[in-house]
Amino acid sequence: MGKTTDAYIDKLETLKSRCVVTPFANAIIQARGISDQIAGQEKIMTERHAAIIGQTQVKGQLKSGVGGGDDAVSKDPQFAAAEKKAETLNEQFVKFSLDVLAPARKAIVDTVAAINTTITQFETFVNAKEKSWFGSKDSVPKARQAIKSAKEFAATLRQLSTVSARLSA
């Protein structure tokens, strides 16, 4: 049977390695890419809208949003094509956040709980053994530093979990 201290340290290392945050770091880059494509389609829609409403207002026929002018814009082939592309991209945008980040978030939420339990157990163990380790001047401070680092790590994980919850709401 191995040493208890090694077992706690190994467990914390394992739990730490389970926390894959790459999807969160990369998500903003991918999402911006999709968002820019949507903005491109919206630009076409806005330009067509302005052109068509401008023409109808000159003829004294329709006004935007009040006299059915925007319904006329909806029938414009260029506007309709851009709107369809924008809708498809928007579905990708929403689905992407949920599909990519939801599993990563679940893994983090599960791991935070396990890390907290291990930290508490390790800290209790160190407190109980502190006096008997007196002969080794580095052991207690280094163990306490590891516990402190683990608590700080768990705090940042909780923060990530809280922030990412807004994305799946």
Partner 1 sequence: MRNIADEIAKKRKERQAVLTNLQTAAQAAQAVTQNGAKLEASLKAAKTALKTVKD
Note the residues at the interface with partner 1 (CB under 8 A). Answer: 3-6, 9, 12-13, 16, 19, 21-22, 24-25, 27-28, 31-32, 35, 38-39, 42, 45-46, 49, 64-66, 68, 70-71, 73-74, 86, 90, 93-94, 97, 101, 125, 129, 132-133, 135-136, 138-139, 141-143, 145-146, 148-150, 152-153, 155-157, 159-160, 163-164, 166-167
Question: At closest approach, how far in Å is the CB of 135 from partner 1?
Answer: 8
Closest contact distance (angstroms) between CB of 77 and partner 1 is 15
Comparison of 2 and 60: residue with beta carbon closer to partner 1:
2
**Pairwise CA distance, residues 99 & 109, whole Å:** 16
* Least Cβ distance, residue 148 to partner 1 (angstroms): 8
What amino acid is encoded at 120 in this protein?
A: T
Q: Are 153 and 132 in contact (CB under 8 A)?
A: no
Two tokens, residue 92: 């990708």
Q: How far apart, in whole angstroms, are the C-alpha atoms of residue 85 and residue 48?
A: 15
Tell me how far apart the alpha carbons of residues 55 and 52 are, in angstroms, rounded to a whole number. Answer: 5
Task: Note whether 79 and 52 are within 8 A (CB).
Answer: yes
- Nearest to partner 1 of 59, 162 (CB atom): 162
- Alpha-helix residue ranges (DSSP H) falling in 59-138: 69-74, 77-129
CA distances from 33 to 28, 36, 107 (A): 9, 5, 26
If the CB atoms of residues 84 and 148 are measured against partner 1, the closer one turns out to be 148
- Nearest residue (CB) to partner 1, 52 versus 59: 52
Rounded to a whole number of angstroms, the minimum distance from the CB of residue 156 to partner 1 is 4
Min separation Cβ 53 and partner 1, Å: 9
